[in-house]
Structure 1
Amino acid sequence: MAYAAAAGTSYQPVTAPPGVLALQRALVWLAGATGAIVFIEPSPYELVTLTACVVFFGTGVRMRLVFMPLLFALILLNIGYSIGAIPFLDRPEVMNWIFTSWYMAITVIFFAMVISEDTEARLDMLRRGLIVGAMIASISGVAGYFHLVPGGYDLLTLYDRARGTFKDPNVLGAFLILPALFALQSVVSDRFGKAFRNAIAFCIMALAVLLAFSRAAWGGLVITAAFMLALMVLTSRSPKERSRIIVMALIAVILAAALLAVLLSFDSIAEMFKQRASFDQSYDEGRFGRFGRHILGAQMALEMPFGIGPLQFHTYFPEDTHNSYLNAFMSGGWISGVCYPALVFVSVIMGFRYVFVRVPWQRSYLAMFSAFLGTVGESFIIDTDHWRHFWMMLGTMWGMYAAAERYRANSAPPVSAGTSAAS
């Protein structure tokens, strides 16, 4: 893969030697691909991101002033978690949770710094890596569900739901949304050959999302895809491009509906689909159901400034919080409870600001922002605070914010002395 053209038209010349540049981009690709393999610990993603941190810091990466608020919020968030964990430091699972939280914070800063430079090429490598990882996870999950792997059903499924290379079907479905959006973008905007290949990839990922039987993932894929396509229409550069997106999107909807109808003709799939699609779930209802716990937990949060500590919510209630914002209050008290939603929603507000900024990586930005926004919404009904891909998206978003500002500054026409004097 050659990025000479990208580098040649970049707003900031890439000064690293070609070999170093290739290594950096390869590590970004590898981080995206290994993000889908997390059923073993330490996962390949941890090993790759740790290696990438060493390589990037050794070969040159910048900590920009614009990332200081992000760094400050992440430090405060994890200080709150660490304070809340003090009474439980003798418990290995709590210590592991704290270390994981700090590590996720490091990956946010890492991706922000990395994506803020050589942005177009590194984003493309991340996109490619995510799609490869998603295909591995999707094919594994589908193959396991249909007993295509001898002895692999128990490994690749959980409770008759596809989980692929993840521990939890819900996380598989959530992870697949971003690469599925990347594939869908190609389907509606690229030439036939590339669009056809990505259409196949999208169908496989969508099938895996369906077989994960995660209501949040189903809704997330549909809503984020519709949101992203709407943004693509609004930001299209010509009526012809706009018409193509709309027509191809309609065709995709028709084909997806046909595929769903075929799959629901299988009794086992139809029965599980009916069961999972129901809004009348026992664990959602009642005083101690999902939403009842949210109300009771919020009342506790107001009375406990230091929270109850990480992984302690289930000692008070039948299940975990299933709400990342409430979990921040419960795990880290008021410090984390304020910092977490502030960090997330400030990032969302900033994200809307850059939707219409014309940058070479605008298409990738729209997919990333749509998936990130979907995860932010999903965080109200599920615990997403240790999802690796969520923190990767957060860091990548901040990296794109910084890159967009520099791109705009360098693209603005220079103000001549005569113009300045006249004004």
Structure 2
Amino acid sequence: MSAVAHTLPATLVQAKAISIVASAAVMFGVFLSGFVINEPAPYELFMAGLIAVWALFGLRLSRHAALLLAIFVTYNVGGLLSMSTMGDLYQTPLYLAVTLFLAFSAVFFVAILEADHTRYKLIFIGWTAAAVLTGMLGIAGYFRLFPGAELFTRYDRAMGAFGDPNVFGPYLALPGVYMLYRLLTGNPLKMPLYVVVFTIIVAAIFFSFSRGAWGLFGAASIMLTMALFLQSNSGLFRLRVAMMSALAVTLLIMAIVVLLQLPGVGEFFAMRARLVQDYDAGEMGRFARFGIGLQMAMENPLGIGPLNFGRMLGEDTHNIWLKALMDYGWTGFAAFVTLVLWTIAGGFRILFRDRPWQPYLLCAYVVFLGHLVLGTVIDMDHWRHFYLLIGLIWGAMALEARYQRGLAHTRARA
């Protein structure tokens, strides 16, 4: 009896230690997502190993995780069918392998979040820490604050530890929205910390000079504020949200005005702020290629092969819907539309339910919606953080299903 009593606590301690190490590994993996200058990036290498180890030691797929996996597998089958139409494969097998890996990463996040909802906080901490560091690198690069800092810029635009400012800016959106959430609802004693982090992230988004990132962050911030205002029945809380929002907007406008006074910033901002750039319009501009791509999709139901659109027309699709049609055929397109609609509907159904993970779901959901709009003018097929957003939302859906099963079981026993 004594031996059993000693063994049980030891087993519990060991299980707790393993859980802590595993959760820390997840947070570190998410942190690595902010550093993608070259491919394969450290994120891919680390996460591939982490997923493999976790799978060996008990990664469980619930109904939601299995359903998400099935949708992604169908999407990739469309890619394989599209690849079969190509005479020269180029680097297509590797490209599809990356797509499949990112799909597995989304499913992985669903599974581990359903197992322990406290990992949401660790994921957001890891993402925010990465955003601050890569954001500071981007700002330092823009102002040439140290020798070699230009490595973190492209075309005089901040890009941090990324290869493209147009990926760098959107990557910062969720940490920025999360910090805004903390400013609107958090402990007043921690406000100085939130303000500093928020300022760094917003400044990095600004200096990316990515119109998509500006619009994404602005739209997600508005949706978050509206959701918080509508969610609460407390007049005092609504007043706080309104006052803090007004303060945040005022400070943001003041900061932008100051930044625009810096040499060269105002002119570049005015150029980038134009709704239609030279490469958007024209006979073979971005928007014209949308029509060309749709015509090609009608003639090629299996697709034309991953990345072949860019080879044929000189520029990629710059549209996630057209990307699905061209690279993954009608099969992949149907799977992608199913994924998007299921994510929107499933996430919205549980968006305002009072759960421990609700703040994280709310932030991820509004940023996900913003990415869908952004995806109409840019390719996001291999954006690591886009798949992470999907995992965060589906993780909450799986947690809600588990929560409801627990309630049903409790009622049945009562």
TM-score (norm 2): 0.93
2:104 aligned partner: 106
2: CA distance between counterparts of 1:166 and 1:392?
17
The 1-side partners of 2:409 and 2:394 are apart by: 25
Aligned to 1:152: 149
Which stretch of the first structure deviates more once superposed, 126-135 or 186-195? 186-195
> Among 316, 326, 329, which residue is 1:320 paired with?
316
Task: After TM superposition, give the deviation of residue 243 of structure 1 in Å.
Answer: 2.0
Deviations 1:364-408 (A, max 9, x none): 111011111111111111101110000111122111101012223
The one-letter code of the counterpart of 2:84 is I
CA contact (8 A) 1:35 1:388 kept: yes
Q: What is residue 142 of structure 1 aligned with on the other side?
A: 139
Unaligned runs of 5+ residues in structure 1 are 1-13, 419-423
Cα distance, 1:244 vs structure 2:
1.5
Measured in 2, the distance between the counterparts of 1:65 and 1:152 equals: 47
Does the C-alpha gap of structure 1 residues 247 and 15 become closer, same or farther in structure 2, counting only changes over 3 Å?
A: farther
When structure 1 is superposed on structure 2, of 405-414 and 330-339 the one drifting more is 405-414
Query: Following the alignment from structure 1 to structure 2, what is the Cα–Cα distance between the partners of residues 273 and 315?
Result: 31
* Matches of 1:266 and 1:170, distance apart in 2: 22
Cα gap change, 1:410 to 1:93, in 2 (>3 Å): same
Contact residue 139 and residue 208 of structure 1 kept, 8 A: yes
1:124 deviates by 0.3
SS at match of 1:213: coil
Q: 1:16 Cα shift?
A: 7.6
Match of residue 8 from structure 2: none
Match of 2:267, as an amino acid? E
Query: For residue 293 of structure 2, what is the aligned residue in structure 1?
Result: 297
Q: Deviations over 1:3-45 (max 9, x none)?
A: xxxxxxxxxxx99811111012101211221110111332121
Q: Report the TM-score when normalising by structure 1.
A: 0.91
> By how many angstroms is 1:52 displaced?
2.0
Matched, 1:378 2:365: no
Which amino acid in the other structure matches residue 57 of structure 1?
A
Indicate the RMSD between aligned Cα atoms, in angstroms. Answer: 1.9
**Partner Cα distance (1:237, 1:44) in 2:** 45
CA contact (8 A) 1:27 1:48 kept: no
3-state SS of the aligned residue for 1:267? coil
Q: Kindly state the Cα deviation for residue 413 of structure 1 after the two structures are TM-superposed.
A: 8.9
- 1:215 and 2:211 aligned: yes
User: Pairwise mapping of residues 357-368 of structure 1 onto structure 2 (< 5 A)?
Assistant: 357-368=353-364
Measure, in 2, the Cα distance between the counterparts of 1:412 and 1:365: 23
Does 1:250 pair with 2:242? no
Cα distance in 2 between the residues matched to 1:146 and 1:394: 35
Note the C-alpha offset of 1:303.
1.3
- Counterpart check, 1:200 vs 2:235: no
Q: Is the 8 A contact 1:161 1:213 kept in 2?
A: yes
Alignment of 1:161-240 (within 5 A): 161-236=157-232, 238-240=234-236
2:127 alignment partner in structure 1: 130
**Secondary structure of the structure 1 residue equivalent to 2:376:** coil
Correspondences of 1:88-107 after superposition (within 5 Å): 88=86, 91-107=89-105
CA distance in 1, matches of 2:134, 2:73: 32
> What SS is found at the alignment partner of 2:275?
coil
Task: Tell me the distance in 2 between the aligned counterparts of 1:46 and 1:15.
Answer: 31
Q: What's the CA shift string for 1:101-140, capped at 9, x where partnerless?
A: 1111111111111111211x10000010000000111000
Write the deviation string for residues 48-82 of structure 1: whole angstroms up to 9, x where unpaired.
Answer: 21232133224422111233331211111101111
* Distance apart, 1:220 and its partner CA: 0.5
Q: In 2, are the aligned partners of 1:88 and 1:94 still within 8 Å (CA)?
A: no
Quick one: distance in 2 between partners of 1:47 and 1:216? 29
> Which residue in the other structure is 1:338 paired with?
334
Q: Give the letter aligned to residue 199 of structure 1.
A: V
What amino acid is aligned across from residue 77 of structure 1 in structure 2? Answer: Y
After alignment, is 43-52 or 256-265 more displaced?
43-52
Alignment CA distance shift 1:138-1:109 (3 Å): same
3-state SS of 2:91 partner:
helix
Is the CA contact 2:127–2:175 (under 8 Å) kept in the aligned structure 1?
yes
How far residue 151 of structure 1 moved from its aligned partner, in angstroms, is 1.8
Deviations 1:86-108, CA, capped at 9 Å, x for gaps: 35485443222111111111111
Post-superposition CA distance 1:249-289 (Å, at most 9, x none): 11001000000000001131111111110123111112321
Contact 1:232–1:363 at 8 Å: present in 2 too? no
Matches of 2:166 and 2:90 in 1, distance apart?
25
Match in the other structure for 1:5: none
Hey, what does 2:63 align to over in structure 1?
65
Displacement after TM superposition at 1:195 (Å): 2.1
User: Which position in structure 2 is the counterpart of 1:421?
Assistant: none
Matched-pair contact (CA < 8 Å) for 1:77–1:336: yes
Match of 2:19 in 1: 21
1:30 aligned to which of 28, 31, 45: 28
Paired with 1:321 and 1:234, the residues of 2 have a C-alpha distance of 38
Q: Quick one: which of 13, 26, 40 aligns to 2:38?
A: 40
- Three-state SS of the structure 1 residue aligned to 2:115 is coil
Structure 1 runs of 4+ aligned residues shifted over 6 Å read none
CA distance change for structure 1 residues 199 and 408 in 2, over 3 Å: closer, same or farther? farther
Aligned to 1:4: none
Task: Name the CA shift for 1:15/1:91 in 2 (closer, same or farther; >3 Å).
Answer: farther
Count of residue pairs the alignment pairs up: 403
| 8 Å Cα contact 2:106-2:387 kept in structure 1 | yes
Aligned mates of 2:268, 2:230 — CA distance in 1: 38
Distance 1:240 1:80, change over 3 A: same
